[in-house]
Amino acid sequence: MRRIAYSGKKINFGFYPIILLPISIFLYFMKGEFRERLMKYPGTLIIGVAGDSGSGKSTFTKGITNLLGKDMVSYITLDDYHTEDRETRKKTGHLPLDPKINNLELAGHHLKELRKGKAIIKPVYNHKTGKFDAPQIVEPKKILIVEGLHTLYDDLRNYIDLSIFVEPSREIKYKWKIKRDVEERGYKEEDVLKEIRIREPYYKRYIDFQKVYADVVIKIRPSEFYEEDSYYVELIMKKLDFPLSGIKMSFSISSVLNTSKMPFAMKYRDDFYYQKNVSRIAFDGKIPRESIESIEKKIIEYTGFTENYLLERRSYINGIQLAQLMVCWYFVEMMNNIFRELERAAF
């Protein structure tokens, strides 16, 4: 995470153990001031999400888009910076995972310009046709979400404020990729399976290492409870190294005990992950939505975007949706620190 240096004493708070409830989520500013400060921010803040094709990258930025509203968030995919279309790749044998088959230098230049609040003209890759469409103008908004295979490469990550790496297990990733590529992109299932097998060593060589640079790593594997639409999700979150202040936000154990008909588990531990002090928080199974509604409501009210919601409207939420909520909280705290530093610098 790229931050303005904090001039006072640095304090590492990390996360409180999830088992000890109620949780304290520390929010400093008065309700609704977040939007005003965001509007005054000189430029664009960038969230970068890296991971393999079909890994669910967009799922974890959806909560932030819901929170802030589409009028505040713009989006680009690094797939648009491929240098070969589908037909050309069939002839050359190249795969998009190879960074040399992507114009990352141009992508980096575009992120630099968007950071400054300048519009860009970017290429457009059409996944349905496998060809390039006409270039597109992108007008920067206050938040830019960048997703792609190489988002945390050297040419790009210096422009990113919050970096996320999504890492589902092989069986989940391949299930999601087959579903997406067949239903949304018009591929034949046998072609998707063939490509999956070919691309595995490329993923390890060119994509997997980027988690070393991420502020948040999200690991997803099958649920230990074998419930439909349940996942075991672990967030590895770099500890925030700036002071936090508090409004208590309760997680309802009574709601879980009294209304839950689904198995659910949570655990927490401190760790050291690729030279970073981190908090590891794991969720499994499903939990009644009402158990976390107060947390969601506090974040929404605090930011002043009360007409939006973070999570889908359903009776139970799974580990992926809880992880969305935690990513939203992490993003809000990161933003607050940037706002505080800018205000200090102005005096």
pLDDT in the model for residue 59: 80
- pLDDT of the chain along its 347 residues, tens only? 443 332 333 323 333 333 333 333 333 434 467 778 888 888 899 999 999 987 888 887 777 787 777 888 999 999 999 999 999 999 999 999 999 999 999 999 999 999 999 999 999 999 889 999 999 999 999 999 999 999 999 989 999 999 999 999 988 988 888 888 888 877 888 888 888 888 899 999 999 999 999 999 999 999 998 778 889 999 999 988 766 544 444 566 666 666 667 788 889 999 999 999 999 999 998 888 777 777 777 777 777 765 556 667 777 888 888 888 888 888 888 888 888 888 888 77
Output the DSSP codes for 147-171.
Answer: EETTTTSHHHHTT-SEEEEEEE-HH
**Residue 297 corresponds to which tokens in the numbers above?**
């409501």
- Residues 152 and 48 sit within 8 Å (Cβ to Cβ): yes
Between CA 219 and CA 70 the distance in angstroms is: 27
Residue whose tokens read 């929170």 = 67
Q: Which fold has domain 23-346?
A: Rossmann fold (3.40.50)
Tell me how crowded residue 227 is: count the other CB atoms within 10 A of its CB: 16
Largest CA distance in the chain: 62
Q: Judging by DSSP bridges, how do beta strands 143-148 and 73-77 pair with one another?
A: parallel
The pTM of the whole model exceeds 0.75: yes
Torsions phi, psi for 325 (to 5 deg): -65, -45
* Positions of E strands within 95-215: 120-126, 131-138, 143-148, 162-168
pLDDT for position 256? 63
Q: How far apart are CA 32 and CA 250, in angstroms?
A: 20
The one-letter code for the residue type at 342 is L
Query: What residue spans define the domains of the chain?
Result: 23-346
The two structure tokens encoding residue 136 = 């597109």
The predicted pLDDT at position 247 comes to: 41
- pLDDT at position 316 is 84
